[in-house]
């Protein structure tokens, strides 16, 4: 029987967009829907049981981050968590490599007159901590006390890893806060690779958890709410929490193992070698997520190649799923190499259970499309 990521009609190579929920996650959610359906804010025993389910998961995330559990809140998505983290900043330092939920917040704050410094994007896609620090010092001094440097730990389109630990060290003592969108990094590499930031965004559906639940953890100055209403999540994210979604997130966190992804690196490299005659890899030569390949294909638009592979049963993408419905090419590749190379960019993100037989079957489909383009 085909697995959840290997449906009979589809070879799913789009794990950066979302991952299939794991059976352990679905089981945990079913238990929570059955046993912890009460409102977690209710004072009676049913409400307290639902709240305990939520608080257990909050404690697990806090231990992962090294933060106090009081400083972890649940949100509906990574986009919401990033907005919560950044919208109150007195100034921002960001790059065009970042996720749209960072870039568009920066553009919004800039339109309101707050200072935003854009760090130049190198062709490698990996930021230089010294350049980031230089950019940070361009912020007017009056705005630095509540300013934030924001980075996407693992790029959602290319898989390129940012030097978070080095950035945290470079910013130490500067008064600037470091926010890290760790949505794609979580579970793929040891957490120590991203330690040292002041706040983090984590997303459940990138680690085989449910869609609709994410977390923001921070140290120091609390974020300001985007929504107003009840006192849930310290009043920073009001609204009735879902114990079932949180239980699914917790189950996904408990099964994380970076070794599942480490074994994909040689398969990813084999894929790139097999397609090398037709494409140039974006982000080659710098640390990347082991399961992600972003390549620009000569003579193709990424959109056209996605469609051609889709009808043959291979699911890939041109980049961020947040840009669905648009014809825009990869923003990250455009920032690295320009519009022409971005136009032909394709993202392949492999699944944790992929084997070489499945990989070679997918490669054969890709080659048949590329060889017979006309």
* Residues 100 and 239 both lie in one domain: yes
Q: In the listed set 254, 278, 308, which residue is the last one of a domain according to the structure?
A: 254
3-state SS, one letter per residue, for 257-269: CCHHHHCCHHHHH
* Residues 308 and 216 both lie in one domain: no
Contact 124, 286 (CB under 8 A): yes
pLDDT band at 5 (very low <50, low <70, confident <90, very high): very low
Mean pLDDT, the chain, whole residue set: 92
- Best CA proximity match to 273, nearest among 359, 154, 196: 359
* Residues 291 and 243 both lie in one domain: no
Query: In the chain, how many domains are there?
Result: 2
116 three-state secondary structure: strand
Q: In the listed set 233, 254, 275, which residue is the last one of a domain according to the structure?
A: 254
Residue 322 annotated as catalytic: yes
* Residues 150 and 117 both lie in one domain: yes
* Residues 183 and 312 both lie in one domain: no
Q: What is the CATH number of the domain that holds 203?
A: 3.40.640.10
Catalytic residue among 10, 53, 315, 322: 322
Q: Residues 158-199: pLDDT tens digits?
A: 999 999 999 999 998 888 999 999 999 999 999 999 999 999
Look at residue 3 and tell me if it is in a domain: no
Q: Is the pLDDT of residue 4 over 80?
A: no
* Residues 271 and 201 both lie in one domain: no
Q: In the listed set 254, 273, 290, which residue is the last one of a domain according to the structure?
A: 254
Q: Which ranges constitute the DSSP H helices of the chain?
A: 23-35, 45-65, 78-86, 100-111, 129-136, 164-171, 243-254, 259-262, 265-274, 302-310, 331-337, 339-343, 356-371
In this structure, what are the phi and psi dihedrals at residue 277, rounded to the nearest 5 degrees? -70, -15
Model's pTM, two decimal places? Answer: 0.93
Look at residue 114 and tell me if it is in a domain: yes
* Residues 106 and 217 both lie in one domain: yes
Letter string b/e over residues 83-108, b meaning 16 or more CB atoms within 10 A of that residue's CB: bbbbbbbbbbbbbbbbbbbbbebbee
* Residues 74 and 15 both lie in one domain: no
User: Residue 59 and residue 328: Cα distance in Å, rounded?
Assistant: 40
* Residues 135 and 249 both lie in one domain: yes
**Domain membership of residue 207 as a residue range:** 23-254
* Residues 298 and 166 both lie in one domain: no
* Residues 243 and 278 both lie in one domain: no
Look at residue 2 and tell me if it is in a domain: no
Look at residue 1 and tell me if it is in a domain: no
Look at residue 320 and tell me if it is in a domain: yes
324 three-state secondary structure: coil
Look at residue 278 and tell me if it is in a domain: yes
Q: What is the CATH number of the domain that holds 355?
A: 3.90.1150.10
Query: What percentage of the chain has pLDDT greater than the value 90?
Result: 84
* Residues 336 and 242 both lie in one domain: no
Better-predicted residue by pLDDT, 256 or 237: 256
Contact 105, 89 (CB under 8 A): no
Better-predicted residue by pLDDT, 320 or 92: 92
Q: Residues 91-110: pLDDT tens digits?
A: 999 999 999 999 999 999 99
């Amino acid at each position: 029987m085909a697995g959840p990521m290997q449906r009979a009609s589809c070879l799913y190579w789009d794990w950066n967009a979302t991952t299939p929920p794991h059976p352990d996650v679905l089981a945990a959610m079913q238990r929570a829907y059955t046993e912890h359906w009460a409102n977690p804010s209710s004072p009676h025993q049913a409400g307290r049981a639902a709240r305990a389910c939520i608080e257990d998961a909050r404690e697990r995330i806090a231990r992962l981050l090294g933060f106090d559990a009081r400083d972890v809140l649940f949100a509906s998505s990574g986009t919401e968590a990033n907005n919560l983290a950044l919208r109150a900043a007195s100034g921002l330092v960001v790059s065009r490599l970042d996720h749209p939920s960072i870039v568009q917040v920066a553009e919004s704050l800039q339109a309101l007159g707050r200072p935003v410094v854009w760090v130049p994007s190198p062709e490698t896609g990996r930021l230089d901590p010294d350049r980031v620090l230089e950019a940070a010092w361009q912020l007017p001094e009056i705005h630095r006390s509540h300013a934030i440097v924001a980075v996407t730990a693992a790029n959602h389109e290319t898989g390129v890893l940012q030097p978070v630990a080095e950035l945290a060290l470079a910013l130490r003592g500067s008064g600037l806060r470091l926010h890290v969108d760790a949505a794609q990094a979580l579970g793929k590499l040891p957490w120590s690779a991203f330690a040292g930031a002041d706040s983090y965004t984590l997303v459940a559906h990138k680690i085989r958890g449910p869609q609709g639940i994410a977390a923001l953890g921070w140290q120091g100055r609390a974020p300001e709410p985007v929504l107003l209403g009840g006192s849930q999540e310290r009043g920073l994210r009001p609204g009735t929490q879902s114990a079932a979604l949180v239980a699914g997130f917790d189950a996904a966190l408990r099964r994380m193992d970076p070794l599942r992804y480490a074994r994909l690196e040689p398969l990813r490299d084999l894929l790139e070698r097999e397609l090398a005659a037709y494409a140039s890899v974006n982000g080659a030569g710098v640390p990347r997520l082991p399961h992600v390949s972003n390549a620009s294909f000569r003579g193709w638009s990424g959109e056209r190649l996605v469609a051609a592979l889709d009808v043959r049963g291979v699911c890939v993408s041109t980049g961020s799923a947040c840009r669905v419905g648009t014809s825009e090419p990869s923003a990250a590749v455009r920032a690295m190499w320009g519009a022409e190379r971005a136009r032909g960019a394709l993202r392949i993100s492999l699944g944790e259970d992929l084997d070489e037989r499945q990989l070679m079957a997918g490669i054969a489909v890709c080659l048949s499309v590329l060889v017979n383009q006309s």
